[in-house]
Amino acid sequence: MSDQDRLNGVHPELNHQAIEENVRGILGLIGEDPGREGLLRTPQRVARAYDFLTSGYRMKLDDVVNEAIFSDANDGMIIARDIEVYSLCEHHMLPFYGRAHIGYIPDKKILGLSKLARIADMFSRRLQVQERLTVQICQALNEVLEPQGVGVVIKCKHMCMMMRGVEKQNSEVFTSSMYGSFRNQESTRIEFLDLIRTPH
């Protein structure tokens, strides 16, 4: 899949029936009885859960932005901090979760503030790695606004590190992506990083 396809969303609707059948098979393979009372409706619940948790594949960036781009002469930094993100690791399909900090400096166009969180949701509701999620949010803002600069920092905990493998419950992963003045101008980058670290 190309980077452009990843930005725009190209996947069809989920086949719930096929997912349910596969979940029943998995339940049997791990030694469970798919017919016992507590598991009877588990396949349907899992199908609905995956429909939501992977809904980002069926979203398009243009639809998420939905014409919420406005002309504005402001050239100060705009930051949405502590946006909650929940995603699934593509390696183990286990959750990772945390907070995203998104900033940009406009170039005659600003985006409705709620759209920053919706863009983060669009890309987090897919099978992901945190590194790519960070870059995709940054690329999307750069594409729709063509701003002077964009910066995205994400901090997450990964269940694949916490409940299996190395089992490090207190580990956190930080990733960042910077475009334009956030990458090229140290003062801009420092301002952004200082602001997202400011205590509540």
Active site includes 130?
yes
Question: What gap in Å lies between CA 63 and CA 59, rounded to an integer?
Answer: 7
Sheet containing 173-180: give its strands across: 127-128, 78-89, 95-105, 149-158, 173-180
Among the listed residues 4, 17, 84, 91, the single catalytic one is: 91
Residue 79, both tokens: 């930051």
Active site includes 101?
no
Active site includes 200?
no
Backbone φ and ψ of 127, nearest 5°? -70, 130
Among the listed residues 32, 44, 92, 185, the single catalytic one is: 92
Active site includes 160?
yes
Question: What gap in Å lies between CA 159 and CA 91, rounded to an integer?
Answer: 11
Among the listed residues 138, 148, 156, 158, the single catalytic one is: 158
Question: What gap in Å lies between CA 151 and CA 104, rounded to an integer?
Answer: 6
Among the listed residues 21, 84, 90, 131, the single catalytic one is: 90
Among the listed residues 20, 89, 128, 136, the single catalytic one is: 89
Among the listed residues 101, 128, 130, 138, the single catalytic one is: 130
Active site includes 92?
yes
Among the listed residues 16, 143, 160, 185, the single catalytic one is: 160
Q: What is the set of active-site residues?
A: 89-92, 130, 158, 160
